[in-house]
Structure 1
């Protein structure tokens, strides 16, 4: 396997673009086919909610992929794990083109997501290898704002493909994107574990490294706050085709615009993060984000369950509820990762696993109790919004750094060679 030389200075903005493109394999895999779900259900002769289960299956597989890939990347390096994950992602994306039932789709999506989890888990670990504290939060924010291009354009791309082709064309696109990323990672991704010692303990001690993370109560508070805030988004994501297309009668061609409005708010919040970091700490910004998110989901719950549901009320409230991820995600992640410089891959894996497993659980429950109303989805969003705020205010506590690392240049960071 080619070994990218890590002794040269790394341009952090270019690295952010590369890592963001790697993360984008997930939103491309989810968001491009959302407009196609009703058509896929018709093609399979199955109810829409049976096909929506594939979203939950993807999230479960994504969680499992991170759970395995994280500690593996601590042992063998970030690059090999990412490359193996992309190969799995490409092969299964190609196989989905030929499925003929919702069951086969769900199985393939699960395996596809394991590969995606391998690729994604190295991103947070790579940032932790290179940055600390607010520098890490800024890097996560930069990655996120670039990565947000994917969910912004993905539903539009999916809808455009459906105009001219069948739903299978969406997965042809995923094969192409995954193949491009495989080449880019092979030639351009540096091995960031060269900056910090790799975990050298026996493989059987992987469980103990997970327990080490879970025993760090103050850090777990940040992880669970991020999980709750993300589950608000996943609850909406799972039910969004039903909510907008089936319930409110929005056409599949209009759906991407309503979906994209949420992403625009995420980007705006994300861009506000850097100015806020000059005045506030990560945990303070996280508290603001989760508080605003909770206010929005309370308003949404009341708007659709107490009053006559209106698209004009639902869309802006969802935009705020989902958009706050732009503030919560980078700051919760940076505050959490600050506790684990020596096992960044394992910590990232556990955080991602719990985040996506919870999202999958929320989606599954919404599907099981669905009664043709907006109550299941909005109740789930409200419950997780409350949970996130409880974690922020009563469990999480920022780590005090007595001797912070010297600030890195805005443009470059040097990774030492072995």
Structure 2
């Protein structure tokens, strides 16, 4: 059975085309900057000699000269990916990159100079070959630095992704474990309720067992960790029918669900342990019966779920000390499970409070972030 967490945000993979986008743009910007700088310097030199600056010609020639550096970018990128400056061998890799950058500068001059001459018709000045090679080396060194920035950015993004996936996997494993704990506890408690009727009212026990089988099929086919409150209340209404077969008319159930709350998303079976607690620990021992009130309402950005009974009430302080349950009898597993699932799904944005009511009963108040979702089924509307 699969689970899904909410609020963690969507985790995307690092952009595989990041390097293909950033590096070419940065390289074009860098070489264009150098081209315009060289064109400006050449035109100013002509002005100083009293000649026509020939701005367009200078810019065209400079762009042809510097843009022909770009074909050497892919080999440099491959070299950076293979030998980035960093652990475990920073000095060796730095030396390899320096040699590669020097080779790229020399190849640029040897291979691309005839291309530039053919394009522009401006003959190359042999005396400036060494100076130009050194300039190309400087440009390629800046490109290598840019490639390193992208390389380490992608490595950091990949590390963050691995950590996020690990965290999400751990959270999903914990939720799966909690859900695995919840279902047997639920089954055991309902079957225990059936056995109490087996001798006193066999027909009611038979009907209860049949309806429980139908409910259990629905629960086992629920594959998500969250669903619409409407779906939750539909399941809960079927559970209440089981309890009413056991307790009869002496326990009255009231539903008070605001219209704005029906589509909100809630954790799977978040209310069932609270209603079970109201029946078993609040009203089961009272011969006069009592009342259970189930409510839901939206309050700003929060959803509040309430299960309240007018039964005997609980020792809140004692239960808080032992984690909402009795370690010897095993009671309170459902409540602890609910609290732990809320913490896993929503962190500090959710809470569950168990308290006495002024009349002596018990109120369970669950507060969740309000997350709207689709309506899924018709339930017991108030």
Fold match by TM threshold 0.5: no
**TM-score between the two structures when normalised by the length of structure 1:** 0.22
**TM-score between the two structures when normalised by the length of structure 2:** 0.24
Larger radius of gyration: 2
The structure that is strand-richer by fraction is 2
